[in-house]
Structure 1
Amino acid sequence: MITGNIITLNESKNIVECIQSLQSVCDEIYVIDSLSSDNTVELARQHGAIVVEQPYLGDGIQKNVVLQHAKNDWILSIDADERLTPEAIEEIKALDLTSTSFDAFAFKRRNYIGSRWIKHCGWYPDQCTRLYNKNKTRFADVKQHASVKAEHVKLLSHDIIHYSFENLGQLFAKPNRNFSTRAAKIMYKKGKRANAFSPFVHGLSAFIRKYLFQRGFLGGVDGMTVALSAAVNSYLKYAKLLEYQRDPKVLENEDFNKVW
């Protein structure tokens, strides 16, 4: 049997459909909640999930909290804004997890903006390992961009869905508000430094990678927009790092103990 795992923070819009998606293949579901201020916890419990309230520890560390509680060897970890497709559900049901030689199974992930599946800019196939044997592997204990590191992984044929952003406004607002500041803080704490050219060079490089090398130009307006968003995010990350270096007042007012 399989234990479902979802980490949450204020996911009342998503949590019910996410739990329902997992219920097709999981006999227990854990929601590891980072002290939500909305009714995420209430909704999760109403729909049969076991809730563990845990202040956020960082991506991989938070996803590994379930290992202390899960009764099953196999863990299926998805985010609140992700769903299993009906085809993926049937493929998971057909797996023989008791005798498989694989440590984990990976999916291709379809990333959406609104109802639009973004197939370029490196957004598809966005391969991610989500079903794994806890006795053989786990998420890396890192605070950002965590992934399951397994030696024997099989890529399944069917996809999971990721409702990445509700609209283009979120595409620009979320990374620019959260990710770039977080990344700049982490780089500064690690001793990395920027110069006056760094924001421009990294921003331009991000755009070229997304739009040309990852064929964003084939995605029309959405491809251009995703590439621009990546450029802005990269630009801001290094601009903020440079600001920490050159403006003592900004540095003094920033709390580096609250990166997360």
Structure 2
Amino acid sequence: MTPITGIVITLNEETRIGDCIDSLKTVCDEVIVVDSLSQDDTARVAKGKGATVLLQTYLGDGPQKAFGVPHASHDWILALDADERLDDDAILAIRRLPLDNPSVAYSFRRRNFCGSHWIKAAGFYPDEVVRLYNRTTSGYLPKKAHSSVEAPKVESTDAHIRHFTYENLSHWIQRIDQLSTRDAWAMKEKGISPSVFRPTLHALSAMIRKLVLKGGLLQGSDGLTVAMTTAFHAYMKYAKLNELHENERQT
């Protein structure tokens, strides 16, 4: 099997990083953890699992995920988040891949969970994501929020990654608060100006997309939950962008 380096970025993930590293080690020869100066035992747990730990102040989603790549011993990179695990079919698929064409990256179907509940509604499945790529031709875009792998060609494995997205509904709301703050800062750094109308317009657009275009209207409570939380996230990130600009004017 062609050697692969697994890379994970972390911030205060002491309870989850161990299982993530174990998952990566089923197909990877080495694991690199890029830690954003965690205040818990993330780094210690990762080192105890045999991972190489690099400490780096958070640079934004894409740059942080790219930070560990030059330190990898191998050209093939498998990127997971700390709350992701390879399903058995993904492990089998990766072991069977020839990995003889560096221009091809491989995507997986992500199964998103809230607690033990697998959410399939309103675009939450199959949620295709590229996770295996060759660094000589491909890599994460330098976007500070919601980055993705850019590759000359992408092939789907039709295999699965489990994504333990939210511990429960309360955690879901907490994550929206955290991510909307990050998104607002990223938009401000890109020079996006404030707008009274954008929060409402983007929230309505997100609601319509999830309920109608993604079929959430016909998918019961899960469909409605996804639509409502997506709209809330969209509203808050633009409202927080307005707040950032307002605070800057007052200083």
1:181 alignment partner in structure 2: 181
> CA offset at residue 185 of structure 1?
3.4
Report the 3-state secondary structure (helix = DSSP H, G, I; strand = E; otherwise coil) of the residue aligned with 2:125: coil
With normalisation by structure 1, the TM-score equals 0.89
State yes or no: 1:251 paired with 2:228: no
Once residues 6 and 188 of structure 2 are traced to their aligned partners in structure 1, the CA distance between those partners, rounded to angstroms, is 36
Report the 3-state secondary structure (helix = DSSP H, G, I; strand = E; otherwise coil) of the residue aligned with 1:180: helix
1:207 alignment partner in structure 2: 207
> CA offset at residue 179 of structure 1?
2.3
Contact 1:199 1:237 in 2 (8 A): yes
Q: Which runs of 5+ in 1 are unaligned?
A: 255-260
Deviations 1:30-76 (A, max 9, x none): 11111111111111111111111111111111111222211111010
Q: Give the alignment of 1:1-260 within 5 angstroms.
A: 1-97=3-99, 99-100=100-101, 102-175=103-176, 177-189=177-189, 190-195=191-196, 197-244=197-244, 247=246, 250-251=247-248
In 2 relative to 1, CA 103–45 (structure 1 residues): closer, same or farther, beyond 3 Å?
Answer: same
| AA in 1 matched with 2:50 | G
Report the 3-state secondary structure (helix = DSSP H, G, I; strand = E; otherwise coil) of the residue aligned with 1:64: helix
The Cα RMSD (Å) is: 1.8
Contact 1:85 1:160 in 2 (8 A): yes
Deviations 1:152-184 (A, max 9, x none): 211102111111111111212211x22223333
> CA offset at residue 236 of structure 1?
1.9
Once residues 85 and 58 of structure 2 are traced to their aligned partners in structure 1, the CA distance between those partners, rounded to angstroms, is 22
In 2 relative to 1, CA 227–28 (structure 1 residues): closer, same or farther, beyond 3 Å?
Answer: same
Q: Which runs of 5+ in 2 are unaligned?
A: none
> CA offset at residue 220 of structure 1?
1.8
Contact 2:103 2:137 in 1 (8 A): no
| AA in 1 matched with 2:153 | H
Identity %: 45
Deviates more, 1:220-229 or 1:235-244: 235-244
Report the 3-state secondary structure (helix = DSSP H, G, I; strand = E; otherwise coil) of the residue aligned with 2:124: coil
In 2 relative to 1, CA 142–199 (structure 1 residues): closer, same or farther, beyond 3 Å?
Answer: closer
| AA in 2 matched with 1:103 | V
1:258 alignment partner in structure 2: none
Deviations 1:93-122 (A, max 9, x none): 01112x236421111111111111111221
